[in-house]
Amino acid sequence: MAKWLYRVGTFAARRAWAVLAAWILILVATAGAYFAWAGTLSSSFEVSDIESMDVIDELQESLPDSAGATGTIVVHNPDGPLTEGQEAQVAELAAGITELDDVATVTDPFAVRDSMAEQAAAMEESAEEIAAGQEAAAAGAPGVDAEELEAQAAQLEAAQELAGYAEGASLISEDGSTALLTVSFTEPMLELADESREAVVEYVEDSPIDGAELVPSSDLSMEIPEIMGVGEVIGVAVAAVLLVVVLGSLIAASFPIITALMGVGIGAMATLSFSGVVQMASVTPILGVMLGLAVGIDYALFIINRHRRQLIAGADVRESIGLANGTAGTAVVFAGSTVILALLALNVVGIPFLGVMGSAGAASVLIAVLVAVTAAPALLGLAGEKVLGRKARAKRAAAIAAASDDDGATSGGDVTAEAGPSSGGDVRPMRTWRAIVTLVAGVAALAIVAIPALDMRLGLPTGKNEPQGSDAYEAYILTDEEFGEGFGGPLLVTADLPAGLDEAGIAAAQLDVARVLAAQDDVVAVAPIAVAEDGSLAAFQVVPSEGPSSESTTQLVHDLRDLPAVNGDIELGVAGQAAINIDISEGLQDALPLYLGLVVGLSFLIMMAVFRSLLVPLIATAGFVLSLLATLGVAVAVFQWGWLASLIGVHETGPLLSFLPVILVGVLFGLAMDYQLFLATGMREAYVHGAPARQAVAEGFRAGRRVVTTAALIMIAVFASFITSDSAMIKSFGVGMAMGVLLDAFVVRMLLVPAAMHLLGRSAWWLPRWLDKIVPNVDVEGASLERAAGSAPSPRSAGSAGSAGSGESAGSGVSAGSAGSAGSADDAAGDRESTEAR
């Protein structure tokens, strides 16, 4: 790999314009594919094999008009009750919407009110007639059947009782100022085309009602978040400032930004070009942009920083580009591969939209890696020595002059020497008591931060989570204020009726079911919707007391499903948008342990191959789990408990986004392994070349700390920029990823890992002989390339000019492991034996 990347780097430096032109053509081609094939993004999320879908399937067979998705249009008169003229316009609006594609029925609230009034009047008239007949029967009037009157009275009482349960489900507010127009579609929510919903919204916008507001609910008008905004531009600007500070040159600092934006453009448009054939959640391309920007900048930085230091040491420009691409580029490929594998593993959990998100994110990271190892060398080839600032060029001239006076010395040897960890003359191991305090305090701090995660609830966004001022938010607030929060997520309950019931039997069964449903806690109203023509299935609307994402509604869904069969033979089923969201969230929560176990196992195996140790991977994966739990704790505290939520523009609290934990596991795992690689390979290099184990920890940490700090700060800046999004969903991604990088990089990798490895000492690098023979030797930083070039540092003299604290060489973590994971197992064993002999 290292030699191949060396050749790629030198070729790109020689044929820079050709390489850059190729990438520009790819960018143009993906733009063409985007405009030709891109479809619409979906605001809904699908999980197969959930209980709600079984109920929907049953409804599609027996009551197709009740099986489809539903949406609400809020009609509100801010000046008082809706007038007769406005009611007539509502009826016209309902009739027009009925003609649109995929619309099954539209419920006119005023028509329902008039119908219910007629039924009430008819029942009152019947009651009077029955009462008169009963009086006549009591007076002994001839021709009056008392038993029949008694039966009629019982039926009437049952009908009145059933109507009473539905009173709380009125579609018109008490003051008459607000009404709910319900649109039912022919297709279920997860299968309904977004174009059908958009057509309804457009029709409403084109059909205003004089003096009244028409506001579509989130089921119809969920807004798609923008992919790039002002916040993202600010994040890139902050990254650019950090790059200028680290690289010391505007030209050099511009290269990671250029390559990252190129990779993001290709990745985002390539992803969106598949949205016409694959159902793609609206957050999918945004995840790709977040990852593409962050890793794209960092990966180019690693290669450019290595090349820059080699130039300062006097290396030839093109040779240095090839060597930087073969060494740091190999580490970039390996680091990117860990992120890609973690994201692709999302396909294993069996949740379709997560698999698509993971694949899109993996594609974005892959493109970032390819651009970094090809376009970055090309840009460096065009820049030549201009990639260095004035002071750095002066140091380069001095190094070349010194090399010419040095008998037998070569600039290549100097380059590699500078890249390695310090010789230890000015670096001392931490004190053991300090390591113990650091480890205990760090673990305790992360554990405390993780406490809120114990209260974590998962859910999907509702109208109240939409940006303030949006239609979805306004519809939710109006519905909540005028009708109650439960109207924002009514439940759909089905009842399998016994075969052979006549009309009276069906009515009696409906009443029995309604009594059971109304008796449950947190139920406001129960309204019968329809009965199948063959009498086999009845459907009811159940209005809960709280919103669709509340704990009480979740508990109500479970309580209804746990009810025994009504009358011993009427089985109930629960569906509706709220129940579907609950089922999806619980499906994601159930998938989380499986995915976490898969990622942790993968982490352990990869780290064991890289560091040839059992305890180093154990420390690395344990640290990852700690930082993940702490990150989830912060997310729960902000988005669920509301701590500091107003500072980032979160106006409503609620459950954590249901797929956020799974995404965080995949993304943070890959990034954590990056930081572990850039720090621990330097420690292993120093140890393999004869340093005492604790001294090696100090040397490796000094060598890698600057590049890890810079890379982490850049990622935090990019991820945090997404917190400015209007979408609460995107905010949660920004907070989670930024906090995850902060905790993992600065607490786990730069505090806990060095402390733990100091305490373990030489045992940290222990690997059983039988396992040593079967574990492949992974050269992740291209040390074989350096040996082939005759520039490998000699033991214990490597990097004497390394990270002793100078600004130029302290950031050598990119190549800190150039010999750490390099060399054959026999070489490493010999070095360990010489260390032990000392």
Report the pLDDT value the prediction gives residue 808, as an integer from 0 to 100.
36
At residue 686, does pLDDT exceed 60?
yes
Tokens 């957050």 belong to 283
Grade residue 329 by pLDDT with cuts at 50, 70 and 90.
confident
Report the pLDDT value the prediction gives residue 274, as an integer from 0 to 100.
84
Give the tokens for residue 18.
């050709």
At residue 650, does pLDDT exceed 80?
yes
Which of 12-21, 239-248, 613-622 is predicted least confidently?
239-248
At residue 541, does pLDDT exceed 80?
yes
Question: What percentage of the chain exceeds 90 in pLDDT?
Answer: 29
Query: Bigger pLDDT: 64 or 415?
Result: 64
Report the pLDDT value the prediction gives residue 805, as an integer from 0 to 100.
32
Burial tier of 782 (Cβ tally within 10 Å: 0-12, 13-18, 19+): buried
pLDDT tens per residue, range 773-820? 888 776 665 666 665 655 433 333 333 333 333 333 333 333 333 333
At residue 59, does pLDDT exceed 80?
yes
Query: Bigger pLDDT: 602 or 569?
Result: 569
Grade residue 259 by pLDDT with cuts at 50, 70 and 90.
very high
Burial tier of 805 (Cβ tally within 10 Å: 0-12, 13-18, 19+): exposed
pLDDT tens per residue, range 215-237? 998 888 766 666 666 777 888 88
How much is the pTM? 0.80
Which of 28-32, 289-293, 450-454 is predicted least confidently?
289-293
Judge whether 50 and 561 are in contact, CB under 8 Å: no
Q: Which residues of 68-102 are buried (b: 16+ CB within 10 A; e: fewer)?
A: bbbbbbbbbbeeeebbeebbebbbebbeebeeeeb
At residue 824, does pLDDT exceed 60?
no
Report the pLDDT value the prediction gives residue 333, as an integer from 0 to 100.
86
pLDDT tens per residue, range 472-508? 889 889 999 999 888 888 899 999 999 888 888 898 8
The Cα–Cα gap between 136 and 130 comes to 10
pLDDT tens per residue, range 280-299? 777 788 888 888 888 888 88
Report the pLDDT value the prediction gives residue 313, as an integer from 0 to 100.
83
pLDDT tens per residue, range 620-639? 889 999 999 999 999 999 99
pLDDT tens per residue, range 585-618? 888 888 888 888 888 887 788 778 878 888 988 9
Three-state DSSP class for residue 832: helix
Cα→Cα distances 223→201, 249, 469, Å: 12, 41, 12
At residue 191, does pLDDT exceed 80?
no
pLDDT tens per residue, range 138-171? 777 777 777 787 878 888 888 888 888 888 888 9
At residue 419, does pLDDT exceed 60?
no
